[in-house]
Structure 1
Amino acid sequence: MASTGLQVLGMLLAVLGWVGGVLVCAAPLWRVSAFVGGELVIAQVLWEGLWMNCLSQTTGQIQCKTYDSTLALPVSLQAARGLTVLALLLCVLALTLGVAGAKGTHCMGDSNQVPKARLSRIAGVLFLLAGLVYLVPICWTAHSIIRDFYDPNVAAPLKRELGQALYLGWVASVLLMVGGALLNAGSASPGGTALPTFGVPVKNNPSPQVASGEAKQQEKSFV
């Protein structure tokens, strides 16, 4: 049977992961400039994201600028954009199906429990898939940052560190996957297949001829 508590908890965690994923997608804190040289005074900090880069100064001023051309961006950045947007769209679809198939809603009527359970399970799978898709660009970006940081051929001004958005992205991915798993587990179909019954077969009623023969034998025994 469907568990309302697991469904609500799964939906809540998945929605939190989706909101966090939206914030990570819009935040320009994926890459942060690293100071690995002999500089003692840090006057400017460069932030880089999927859609814009920002320059933060020690005076508190922040100047942000969107990327001029999408085609001029690296392939990894274009792929990260596409995967994050795809994951967020999957979350929107999963949220719609999850609300329609939740046990406490009346979108499909109270009598249609089997289709509602199937919709909730599909929503859980979509949330789980969205978490995996969202995890790919986060890990990909973190791997490239760490690789370039320890590469001696990369100049010091071009080295970057992991931004705060990547850590929030990992948390959002885990919330999406855990929420999808709980939603799927709490949406078991209320209608189960009947199990086969094993036992002694019931004998058929005797035919009228056999019954009359047995009655005659009983009458002769009493004579």
Structure 2
Amino acid sequence: MKKRLFQIFGFLLSTLGWLFVSCTMAMDYWRVSQIGGQGGSNIIKVGWYWSNLWKDCFIDSTAVVNCRDYAVLWSVTPYVQGVRGLLMIGLGFGFLGAILAFVGMECTNLGGNDETNDKILLSASVFHVVGGISDIAGYCLYINRIARTAFNPVFDPTTLRYDIGTPLFLGLVGSFLILVGAVFYLFTVLRVIFPKTKVVYAYTSRSYVTPRTRSRTLYTGYYRPSRQSRRSRESRESRQSTLSTGSKSSEFSNISQITDEKISDRDAFV
């Protein structure tokens, strides 16, 4: 149950983060610059310059907006092209990661067994991490461009100095949520990354030993008889065997003599 809750929470965080990132690409006021604000009459003339990834605009105090769209791709400033590319790469990885996360979650029952689900969710978290880092790199590149112009002491004073707009902060928050969701995914699939070590027991084949011989073999390693004792025992056994064979042969000879005498007496009587 705890694993399922972590996965759902991570999915919600990562999805919310990608929603923030995708919204920032269509939002205005990535950078803002204000001019005017002073006047000797009752009407204060104020104007704002603002830009995003697709156009540059100017708005005056009468709320009239004039914009210049970026006509073609190769006419755009190189750093804007870089930010576009990084954000689109991040959104692509995030789309794949969201699909894999939806399939690999335990509550959806789409990936198969637990081991397959964990592997799918691990790949989804990797896609989220790569996409989140790509988005952070894009936002940092844009912020760096604004900061270099704003804090340059030898910069032309007639050039506009822009401030950081709201979409950049929203995009950084979304990237942070994506990474947090990926961490929740990784926390639930630690068994795949660090599997438990399996202890293998090796069993050797042993012959069955009766209790009498078992008790006898326990002490043979410590009290092994000497060679002379073994030889004397073998000679004793050989003598006993010869005596037994001699007694058996004498018995057979006695029996044969008795039977011959009985047969001769019978013939004489007849």
User: TM-score, normalised on structure 2?
Assistant: 0.68
Deviation at 1:153, TM superposition (A): 2.1
C-alpha distance in structure 2 between counterparts of 1:42 and 1:104, whole Å = 59
Deviation at 1:61, TM superposition (A): 4.1
Q: Output one character per residue of 1:123-150: Cα deviation in whole Å (capped at 9) or x when no partner.
A: 1111111111100121111111111112
Match of 2:188 in 1: 186
Identity rate of aligned residues, in percent?
24
Residue number among 176, 193, 198 corresponding to 1:195 in the alignment? 198
Q: Output one character per residue of 1:155-189: Cα deviation in whole Å (capped at 9) or x when no partner.
A: 34421111111111110111111111111212344
Deviation at 1:192, TM superposition (A): 4.5
C-alpha distance in structure 1 between counterparts of 2:60 and 2:34, whole Å = 15
Q: How does 1:65-144 map to 2 (within 5 A)?
A: 65-109=68-112, 112-144=113-145
Match of 2:253 in 1: none
C-alpha distance in structure 2 between counterparts of 1:212 and 1:153, whole Å = 100
What amino acid does structure 1 have at the position aligned with 2:137?
A: V
Residue number among 42, 45, 63 corresponding to 2:48 in the alignment? 45
Match of 1:161 in 2: 163
8 Å Cα contact 1:128/1:179 also seen in 2: no
Q: Point out where structure 2 has 5 or more consecutive residues left out of the alignment.
A: 39-43, 217-270
Match of 2:210 in 1: 211
Go from structure 1 to structure 2 and tell me whether the alpha carbon gap of 1:11 and 1:142 turns closer, same or farther (over 3 Å shift): same
Secondary structure of the structure 2 residue equivalent to 1:158: coil
Match of 1:220 in 2: none
Deviation at 1:106, TM superposition (A): 2.2
Match of 1:7 in 2: 7
Secondary structure of the structure 1 residue equivalent to 2:210: helix
Q: Tell which has more relative contact order, 1 or 2 (C-alpha 8 A, sep 6+).
A: 1
Secondary structure of the structure 2 residue equivalent to 1:44: strand
Deviation at 1:195, TM superposition (A): 2.6
Q: Point out where structure 1 has 5 or more consecutive residues left out of the alignment.
A: 218-223
Match of 2:57 in 1: 54
Go from structure 1 to structure 2 and tell me whether the alpha carbon gap of 1:204 and 1:68 turns closer, same or farther (over 3 Å shift): closer
Go from structure 1 to structure 2 and tell me whether the alpha carbon gap of 1:137 and 1:108 turns closer, same or farther (over 3 Å shift): closer
Deviation at 1:76, TM superposition (A): 0.7
C-alpha distance in structure 1 between counterparts of 2:56 and 2:135, whole Å = 21
8 Å Cα contact 1:10/1:179 also seen in 2: yes
Cα RMSD (Å) = 2.8
Match of 1:150 in 2: 151
C-alpha distance in structure 2 between counterparts of 1:140 and 1:39, whole Å = 31
Give the number of the structure whose residues are more often helix, by fraction.
2
Match of 2:29 in 1: 29
Query: Who wins on radius of gyration, i.e. which is larger?
Result: 2
Go from structure 1 to structure 2 and tell me whether the alpha carbon gap of 1:102 and 1:2 turns closer, same or farther (over 3 Å shift): farther
C-alpha distance in structure 1 between counterparts of 2:69 and 2:199, whole Å = 65
Q: Output one character per residue of 1:15-57: Cα deviation in whole Å (capped at 9) or x when no partner.
A: 111000011111122111144xx75245221211111233333
User: TM-score, normalised on structure 1?
Assistant: 0.81
Number of aligned residue pairs: 208
8 Å Cα contact 2:37/2:46 also seen in 1: no
C-alpha distance in structure 2 between counterparts of 1:155 and 1:72, whole Å = 26
